[in-house]
């Protein structure tokens, strides 16, 4: 049986959500999770529990959500516990939503198929990738631009859709995104193109991605640093933490900042993007950022704080 989500792009009046059978069966364990979440927030924020409860209710009553995917809804090729119930809650509560990913190696249609394989049906229109954001940005800067691209075919396809010419001959831009096959020849060519005047763009600055079994793999930010160090040219990163993606998502949803919340698992991308866009933020501990990074001597690691911290997105659902 599939869970079906159809994106809602018009403002809707949010009615209160009543506990369904899917949540009531989990109420005992989720109450424990909520108590743990209270500890997270009281430890990191020094929040009274009454204020934490008020913030949780404020987030629940938002009209829409800008939701990261990796580490929030999925981990590798599996759904994170609580994600399916959260998606069902979005649908039943007539919420608006857009799912963002810093990944540039998959199209919305490919991401939709991934969720179908996990038993969840979501319209391709509900996904917004860093490849799409990068193509929009380059087009806004120079509609007739040319670019040398290191990345999967989908990144090139998004650029071509916007009329960007793919070229190795004195291109206006060198653009790097994710790929499973980083090649020394391409990185050397890209370095020389930047050295002689091409502008350097990264689809995102993520240094690594969390994958199955607690492992990590280097991502765009790590690979593009080779070109930055060789050329002494800093890349411009379009994806999170650049607030450009969050603001674009707001425009797509037609929502005001006060009516929306950003949900993510990374303090250094998702949460800072929301803070800089003046949107309330929800940090979930199901992905990259862990509790020990927010406690003790690490409390000064980041100058910004999330509006609220939860164990996972399922904690947003009311429990009875």
Residues annotated as part of the active site: 68, 70
User: Distances in Å between the alpha carbon of 242 and those of 1, 84, 203, 206, 310?
Assistant: 38, 28, 10, 11, 23
Cis peptide before 13 (omega within 30 of 0): no
CB 288 within 8 A of CB 43: no
Residue 205 makes CB contacts below 8 A (sequence gap 6+) with 220, 221, 224, 235, 237, 239, 241, 269
Nearest to 131 by CA among 180, 203, 35, 54: 203
Nearest to 37 by CA among 319, 273, 275: 319
- The two three-digit tokens of residue 121, written as one number: 């049906």
- Distance, CA of 114 to chain centre: 16
Residue 39 makes CB contacts below 8 A (sequence gap 6+) with none
Phi, psi of 97 (to 5 degrees): -160, 155
Strand pairing class (216-218; 173-176): unpaired
CB 209 within 8 A of CB 219: yes
* CA atoms of 211 and 22, how far apart (whole Å): 28
């Amino acid at each position: 049986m599939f869970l079906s989500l159809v994106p809602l792009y018009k403002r809707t009046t949010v009615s209160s959500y009543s506990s369904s059978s899917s949540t009531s069966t989990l109420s005992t364990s989720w109450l424990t999770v909520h108590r743990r979440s209270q500890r997270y927030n009281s430890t990191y924020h020094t929040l009274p529990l009454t204020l934490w409860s008020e913030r949780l209710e404020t987030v629940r009553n938002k009209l829409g959500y800008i939701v990261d995917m990796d580490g929030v809804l999925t981990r590798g090729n599996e759904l994170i516990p609580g994600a399916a119930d959260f998606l069902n809650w979005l649908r039943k509560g007539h919420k608006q939503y857009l799912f963002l990913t810093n990944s540039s190696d998959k199209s919305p249609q490919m991401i939709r198929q991934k969720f179908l394989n996990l038993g969840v049906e979501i319209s391709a229109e509900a996904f917004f990738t860093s490849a799409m954001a990068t193509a929009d940005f380059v087009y806004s800067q120079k509609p007739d631009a040319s670019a040398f691209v290191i990345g999967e075919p989908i990144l090139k396809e998004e650029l071509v859709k916007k009329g960007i010419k793919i070229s190795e001959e004195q291109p206006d831009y060198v653009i790097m995104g994710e790929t499973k096959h980083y090649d020394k020849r391409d990185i050397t060519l890209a370095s020389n193109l930047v050295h002689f005047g091409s502008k350097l763009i990264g689809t995102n600055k993520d240094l690594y991605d969390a994958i199955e079994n607690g492992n990590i793999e280097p991502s765009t930010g790590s690979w593009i640093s080779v070109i930055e160090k060789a050329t002494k040219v800093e890349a411009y990163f379009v994806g999170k933490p650049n607030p450009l993606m969050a603001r674009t998502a707001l425009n797509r949803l037609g929502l005001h900042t006060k009516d929306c919340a950003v949900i993510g698992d990374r303090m250094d991308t998702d949460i800072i993007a929301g803070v800089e866009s003046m949107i309330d933020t929800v940090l979930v501990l199901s992905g990259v950022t862990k509790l020990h990074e927010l406690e003790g001597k690490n409390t000064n690691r980041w100058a910004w704080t999330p509006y609220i911290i939860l164990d996972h997105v399922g904690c947003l659902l009311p429990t009875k």
